[in-house]
Amino acid sequence: MDGRGLSVTLFVLVMTLSVRAQRAWLFGCGLALFPLGVALAGCWSLIFSKILSSQLGLTPHSTSYDMWKETPVPMYMEFYLFNWTNGYIFNSSTDKATLARTKPSFEQLGPYVFREHHVRVNMTWNNNATVTFRQIRTWKFVQERSNGTLSDNVTTINTIALGRARPCQSRTLRARPIARHHTRSPGRRPKPHPSANAITSWQLNSLPQQSPTHFWAAASDPEPTDPQTSPRGRVAVWSNTLLFCGLDCQRREIRAASYMARDKPMLRIFVSGILEGLGSVVVTKTSGQLLLEGYEDPILDTLKNFRSLLKNINIPFTKFGWFSERNNSASYDGLFNMYTGTDDLSKLGMMYSWNYEHQSHYYNESCGLVRGTTGEICAPVKDMATLDLFSSDICGSLTLKKVGELETMGITGSKFEADASIFDNGTLYPSQTCYTTGESVYSGVMNISTCKWGAPAFISYPHFYLADKSYLDAVEGLSPSSKDHSFYFAVEPEMGVPLQVRARMQINILLQPIPDITLLKNVPRVFIPCMWFSQNADLDQSLAPTVKNTLLAKWVGSATLLGLASLGVLFLFIGLIVTVRENWRAEDTDTLVNTDGTPPASGVKNVPQSDVSPLMSRQDSSLRSSDLRTEQRARDGTS
């Protein structure tokens, strides 16, 4: 028997009771169901949030744990490389006038699509409702989704040559505290210094004293060198994987650019000679070499040949590739510490610290704060106007603003988009001034050289989308559009489930004249776009029903409780009708009389109407009417 049949049966049973019992049942049920339904309906949102929190809060046994530990959502990384079509001019000519009137021209190649997979490892659950972990990201090439092969030839800027030439600029580069390069725990950090000058002095005093040849040590031992325990630890002047070497390189490197620029002019001459003989402004490599495979560096090979002459030289890396060191690495992205949301669901997935630091120190003031989510797991964003995303690639956070809604697979989510303020230099958005470090540039690109070991690296939106017009005017072949180059993140507001991600950024290298380097002394100052990528993630079809059912449960729960309150109102209404009808009947005479006005027979007893059920009342009335008619016919026959 279904619910409807049961309700009808109960209603019929109630109606067979006496009127007094009917009123008791109807008013009793109504007075119980109505306030109960109203109270539960009003509290259902809180109840649902508690249930949701118990499921979404991250613990080793929660529902969300497996989905977070190994991301089930299929992700793809699309790489687009810029082929420098007239780059040969910059290799074949050093004439300043020729180079000045040559505008770099590019054609876009790709996409080269890789399947991306994330796994969290080395997890430690802390008592302050946070979890510490590392993550491994792997990429596998997907030919059927790509436009091109990994054997395509690409001409691009010689990132290695520019990165190694930059420390030889005559001006002093900004020094950074080396504490964050050599720390695995707070107890191993060097003592703080009161000023930047003290930091610079300490860095220079920490350099090896035996011979300048120590400065050619490209990297130190595999284990990090702690200045407190090894004050004579070697210095990494060469950054073999200049831009994206990872945390291991951060631990191995102490940038000595200011030392070389001010105190070692002979080293600058030596560097200039090596770059002049072995280096070039542009190189032609395959797309596979530029992305993941890496390519050999002839300068490093040359330095290896000097091992017998250069004391204590150690060059463990001989290849460069944009992502060659990060693929399948547990150390590249660093050490994360984030909130689990078990004590406060609004903190779920929010970063607490990165590499044991609450402030990254790569940017000034609030811009260096470690904040936001990494994107794999989010707190509910129902009442949020902005969303912070933390990216280890830029050593900081991006603030996205809510611009509307986005629907996918029947699920509506809040769409957060990155606007022009992200890469502003403070001229349009004063709050972004603290991101401005090092080189003075127009709005539209962000200097991440401090995050990437002094290499002249800058990021922007693809094709200089939303950037100052001067960037596009300086090159040819780029065409920005909102559809193809915007950066947005769509998330379901109630549960915080990412629905659609399009994280798009472009890597640019600053080409500028360096008087001390013959190879670069006459080149123009221009930002060379090297590549851009789009990290794409969409809610998997197998997970969509789970999200829908969870959201439906909230609606069904509210509807059920409101229906319960409505049922209580219905019972009260029926009880009121029964009472009114009985009052009307009470106004009628309770005594049956003969047609001549004589009292009823002595054997007939008047029964109070309120003590008789409607069915019995109708049966007795019919019998009495029948008796009266029979008696009347008998009387008429006698007459």
Domain ranges of the chain: 3-53+550-638, 159-279+294-334
pLDDT category of residue 246 using cuts at 50, 70 and 90: very low
Cis preceding linkage at 111, omega within 30: yes
Q: What share of the chain is helix, strand, coil (3-state, %, to 5)?
A: 40, 20, 40
Least confident of 220-224, 301-305, 439-443: 220-224
Mean pLDDT is highest, among 13-17, 237-241, 242-246, 444-448, for 444-448
Interhelix angle 19-56/3-15, rounded to 10 degrees, is 150
Phi/psi for 319 (5° steps) reads -130, 155
Q: pLDDT at position 300, please?
A: 65
For residue 46, pLDDT beyond 90: no
Q: pLDDT at position 178, please?
A: 28
User: Looking at the whole model, is its pTM more than 0.75?
Assistant: no
Of the candidates 468, 284, 266, 495, the residue with the CA atom closest to the CA atom of residue 377: 495
Over residues 548-571, the mean pLDDT reads: 77
Task: Supply the DSSP string of 118-164, one letter for each residue.
Answer: EEEEEEEE-TTSEEEEEEEEEEEE-GGG-SS-TT-EEEEE-HHHHHH
Separation of alpha carbons 218 and 232, rounded Å: 15
Separation of alpha carbons 164 and 424, rounded Å: 28
Tokens of 150: 């990994």
Are residues 356 and 183 in contact, defined by beta-carbon separation less than 8 angstroms?
yes
Phi-psi map region of 87: left, alpha, beta (phi>0 left; psi -120 to 50 alpha): alpha
Are residues 407 and 399 in contact, defined by beta-carbon separation less than 8 angstroms?
no
Give the SS3 label for residue 283: strand
Task: Tell me the CA end-to-end span of the chain in Å, nearest whole number.
Answer: 61
Over residues 36-56, the mean pLDDT reads: 75
The CA distances from residue 198 to 176, 204, 364, 606, in Å, are 11, 10, 18, 112
Over residues 23-39, the mean pLDDT reads: 73
Tokens of 293: 């495979």
Least confident of 52-66, 411-425, 585-599, 606-620: 606-620
What percent of the chain shows pLDDT beyond 70? 66
pLDDT category of residue 414 using cuts at 50, 70 and 90: very high
Are residues 233 and 220 in contact, defined by beta-carbon separation less than 8 angstroms?
yes
Separation of alpha carbons 17 and 15, rounded Å: 5
Least confident of 332-341, 533-542, 622-631: 622-631
Strand partners, 507: 459, 531
Of the candidates 505, 526, 511, the residue with the CA atom closest to the CA atom of residue 442: 526
Counting Cα atoms < 13 Å in the Cβ hemisphere of 49 gives: 15
pLDDT category of residue 621 using cuts at 50, 70 and 90: low
Of the candidates 148, 154, 158, the residue with the CA atom closest to the CA atom of residue 286: 154
Give the SS3 label for residue 89: helix
421-437 pLDDT, tens digit each = 999 988 888 888 888 77
> Which helix (DSSP H) or strand (DSSP E) does residue 407 occupy?
strand 396-408
Of the candidates 298, 320, 274, the residue with the CA atom closest to the CA atom of residue 457: 320
Least confident of 244-248, 275-279, 509-513, 530-534: 244-248
Q: pLDDT at position 441, please?
A: 86
Say which DSSP state 292 is in.
I
Q: What is the mean pLDDT of the chain?
A: 75
Tokens of 58: 């991250």
pLDDT category of residue 168 using cuts at 50, 70 and 90: low
pLDDT category of residue 544 using cuts at 50, 70 and 90: confident
Q: Is 430 buried (19+), middle (13-18) or exposed (0-12) by CB count in 10 A?
A: exposed
For residue 173, pLDDT beyond 50: no
More confident residue, 38 or 180: 38
Give the SS3 label for residue 295: strand
Residue with token string 């992700």? 75
256-267 pLDDT, tens digit each = 444 444 445 666
What percent of the chain shows pLDDT beyond 90? 33
